[in-house]
Structure 1
Amino acid sequence: MAVFDHLGITIDDLARSVAQFHPVLEALGFSRQDADGSVAWQRDGEPELILFPARETDTGPHEHGRVGWQHLAFAVDSPAEVDHLHSIALGAGWSAVREPKKYPRFTDRYYASFVEDDNGIRLEFMYNPPRTTVAS
């Protein structure tokens, strides 16, 4: 059984956030389910991601680096997929925080990009294949 079941994210404007999240999550293979007062995406074997509108107005956006949300990283199969998802996100209205590039400070194989929406929600698309072992 998975330890994480779902991730709920509070956003300012549900319709606007759905327009930003849907193209990205669809490209990652998630299916969308609309409910009364929320929208969710799920992929087999993965935790559900749910957007909820804020109960109070003018409480955002979240500021990166403050207590609370840091970012959500999506592991993908190639640097080309990082580039593709980054492009989809920008086309859906996300802002580039960091363009796709290598991050040798993490590992010599780490390639990632970071995007942020107008709620201050930050996503990372990352490729970090396992280190290959050399047979002796």
Structure 2
Amino acid sequence: MPLFDHLGITVDDLARGITQFDPVMQALGFTRVDAENSVSWQRDDETELILFPAREADTGRHRHGHIGWQHLAFALDSQTEVDRLHAIAVDAGWTVVREPKLYPRFNDRYYASFVEDDSGIRIEFMHNPPRKNAGG
């Protein structure tokens, strides 16, 4: 059983949210399921990400650093995959917050990029391989 069952995210414009999230989620191996007034992406019948439209129009973008959502990190198998997902997101209209690069402040293996959608929702693509054993 997964630790997180699902994550629901509210966006300003559902149609635009689908345009931005769908290529990324499909590239991550999720299957899209449309519902009335929402859309979700599911993987392995265990994990689900759901987009909902805002209940009130023009409530403003999410503001990174304020109380609430900060970002969601997707762990990937390689730096190449980080670069690939970053490019897919940018092509889908996400704004680059930080280009793919190493983050030695986390550790010498941590490679990541950060992007933000039109609603201010931030995601990270990251690769953090285990430290190699000194003895083997």
Report TM bin, short chain. Answer: over 0.9
Matched, 1:24 2:41: no
- How far apart are residue 3 of structure 1 and its match? 2.4
TM-score (norm 1): 0.96
**Partner AA of 1:47 in structure 2:** T
User: For 2:133 and 2:76, how far apart are their aligned partners in 1?
Assistant: 21
Residue identity opposite 1:75 in structure 2: A
Show the counterpart of 1:93. 93
Distance in 1 separating the partners of 2:123 and 2:92 = 13
1:81 corresponds to 2:81: yes
CA 1:2–1:123: 2 relative to 1, 3 Å: same
- Distance across 2 between alignment mates of 1:44 and 1:86: 23
CA distance in 2, matches of 1:35, 1:67: 29
- Count, aligned residues: 136
SS in 2 for 1:82: helix
Q: Which letter does structure 2 place at the counterpart of 1:111?
A: Y
Once residues 45 and 65 of structure 1 are traced to their aligned partners in structure 2, the CA distance between those partners, rounded to angstroms, is 32
List runs of 5+ in structure 2 lacking aligned partners. none
Say which is worse superposed, 40-49 or 116-125, in terms of deviation. 40-49
2:41 corresponds to 1:41: yes
Deviations 1:73-118 (A, max 9, x none): 0000110111111110000000000000000000100000000011
Aligned to 1:59: 59
- The separation in 2 between residues aligned to 1:41 and 1:28, in whole angstroms, is 10
Alignment of 1:2 onto 2:8: no
Secondary structure of 2:67's counterpart equals: coil
- SS, match of residue 17 in structure 1: helix
Runs of at least 4 residues of structure 1 off by over 6 A? none
Q: Percent identity over the alignment?
A: 71
Structure 1: tracts of 5 or more residues without a match: none
Q: TM-score, normalised by structure 2?
A: 0.96
Report the CA distance between 1:47 and its aligned residue: 2.1
Deviations 1:47-87 (A, max 9, x none): 20000001111112000000011000000011011111111
